[in-house]
């Protein structure tokens, strides 16, 4: 819980009334969830203008956490897809609430059965990064055989972007720091670039798509590294909204910035099928018990995490 904006220490554990599922909802006992960049921004109330949506003086949503994995414990009278005992994973954007023992989800929301053999902690770490990556790659009209550079390839969105681009048939170059080169290579990257040693914008190579998975680059810097007709896919940055409109009318290199992001059941099912086929795995850097959410959040805010940071809500995190 948090009742005010501030540093990670404003978070605390508190007992609350359990949620009750509506007729079209399922009640899920959460086994694992994650701490994401979005959680950190909401808790801090940054950027400030976002408070006009989340609450000006204090947060309207007191429980953070969007993606999760767990077990269905109760279903509403109108639910047909799920039954008690089903192992499920998904994401609850905008309303959040996954940093808790129980959460309610509409059966038609971004929720699906977990693949056989996948642990709760791994399934919990799938949706946030993967669905945000899909929200960028699909509007970019990635086609098989194209060359894609993923900048920030070792984060939650970046590790997802590398694997999704490969699954869609691209030739992938991953950019990250020295310590994570072998990890991103193991995810299927065809080439890796250590940004501490090589500036990809100055090495003379070019790509059909540049996917900025951490929002730390710019179209201006990347433009010369795009092939004719190439597309720059950012994950955030208000300037990119204007650039998307401008480049749609002028020039053959485009900024594609599709807002707001969409979190749909079909995409969770898509990720389930990729995992079941052995074509996707969530990267988990560290695991913390829910009671150590402050420590987990401080680690995420160091901006050094590899993939995802998981909170284990119950002791069971294996199949």
- Encode burial over 14-34: b for 16+ CB neighbours within 10 A, e otherwise: eeeeebebeebbbbbbbbbbb
Tell me what pLDDT residue 261 has.
85
pLDDT tens per residue across span 33-54 = 999 999 999 999 998 888 988 9
Percent of the chain with pLDDT over 70: 98
Tell me if 8-126+282-312 shares its fold with 129-255.
no
Quickly name the fold that domain 8-126+282-312 has. Quinone Oxidoreductase; Chain A, domain 1 (3.90.180)
Residue in 306, 302, 276 with CA at minimum distance from that of residue 115: 276
Quickly name the fold that domain 129-255 has. Rossmann fold (3.40.50)
Percent of the chain with pLDDT over 90: 86
DSSP state at residue 155: B
> In a 3-state reduction of DSSP, which class is residue 195?
coil
Tell me what pLDDT residue 215 has.
84
Tell me what pLDDT residue 114 has.
97
Average pLDDT, the chain: 94
Phi, psi of 86, rounded to the nearest 5 degrees: -65, 135
Indicate the pLDDT class of residue 316, thresholds 50, 70 and 90.
low
Indicate the pLDDT class of residue 239, thresholds 50, 70 and 90.
confident
Other C-beta atoms closer than 10 Å to the C-beta of 181 total 18
pLDDT tens per residue across span 122-137 = 999 999 899 999 999 9
Tell me what pLDDT residue 39 has.
95
pLDDT tens per residue across span 1-12 = 999 999 999 999
> Do the beta carbons of residue 258 and residue 135 sit within 8 Å?
yes
pLDDT tens per residue across span 169-223 = 999 999 999 999 999 999 999 999 999 999 999 999 999 999 999 988 999 999 9
pLDDT tens per residue across span 277-289 = 999 999 999 999 9
Question: ∠ CA(124), CA(131), CA(282), 5° rounding?
Answer: 40
- Element (H or E) spanning 15, and its range? none
Residue 82 vs residue 251, higher pLDDT: 82
> In a 3-state reduction of DSSP, which class is residue 259?
coil
Tell me what pLDDT residue 18 has.
94
d(C-alpha 32, C-alpha 123), whole Å: 8
Parse the chain into domains and list their residue ranges. Answer: 8-126+282-312, 129-255
Tell me what pLDDT residue 123 has.
97
d(C-alpha 214, C-alpha 132), whole Å: 11
Give the bridge partners for 106, in sequence order.
Answer: 25
d(C-alpha 248, C-alpha 106), whole Å: 37
pLDDT of 317 strictly over 60 = no
> Do the beta carbons of residue 59 and residue 45 sit within 8 Å?
yes
Strands (DSSP E) found in 216-277 = 226-234, 254-255
Q: Mean pLDDT throughout 297-315?
A: 93
Other C-beta atoms closer than 10 Å to the C-beta of 312 total 20
d(C-alpha 32, C-alpha 287), whole Å: 9
Q: Residue 293 corresponds to which tokens in the numbers above?
A: 């959410």
Q: Mean pLDDT throughout 105-127?
A: 96
Tell me what pLDDT residue 319 has.
40
Pairing of strands 226-234, 111-113: unpaired
């Amino acid at each position: 819980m948090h009742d005010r904006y501030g540093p990670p220490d404003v978070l605390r554990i508190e007992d609350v009334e359990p949620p009750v599922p509506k007729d079209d909802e399922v009640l899920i006992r959460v086994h694992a969830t994650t701490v994401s960049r979005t959680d950190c921004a909401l808790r801090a109330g940054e950027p400030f203008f976002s408070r006009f949506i989340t609450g000006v003086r204090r947060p309207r949503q007191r429980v953070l956490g969007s993606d999760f994995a767990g077990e269905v414990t109760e279903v509403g009278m109108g639910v047909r897809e799920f039954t008690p005992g089903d192992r499920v994973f998904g994401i609850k954007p905008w309303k959040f609430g996954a940093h808790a023992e129980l959460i309610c989800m509409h059966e038609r929301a971004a929720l699906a059965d977990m693949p056989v053999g996948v642990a709760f902690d791994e399934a919990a770490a799938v949706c946030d990064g993967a669905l945000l990556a899909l929200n960028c790659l699909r509007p970019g009209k990635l086609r098989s055989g194209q060359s894609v550079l993923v900048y920030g390839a070792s984060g939650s969105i970046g590790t997802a972007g590398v694997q999704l681009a490969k699954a869609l048939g691209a030739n992938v170059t991953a950019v990250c720091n020295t310590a994570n080169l072998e990890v991103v290579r193991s995810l299927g990257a065809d080439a890796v670039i250590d940004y501490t040693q090589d500036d990809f914008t100055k090495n003379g190579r070019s790509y059909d798509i540049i996917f900025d998975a951490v929002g730390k680059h710019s179209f201006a810097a990347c433009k010369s590294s795009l092939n004719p007709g190439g597309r720059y896919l950012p994950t955030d940055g208000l300037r990119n909204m204007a650039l998307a409109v401008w480049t749609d009318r002028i020039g053959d290199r485009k900024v594609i910035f599709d807002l707001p992001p969409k979190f749909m059941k079909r995409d969770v099912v898509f990720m389930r099928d990729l995992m079941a086929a052995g074509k996707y795995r969530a990267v988990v850097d560290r695991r913390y018990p829910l009671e150590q959410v402050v420590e987990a959040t401080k680690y995420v805010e160091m901006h050094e995490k590899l993939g995802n940071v998981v909170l284990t809500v119950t002791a069971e995190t294996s199949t």
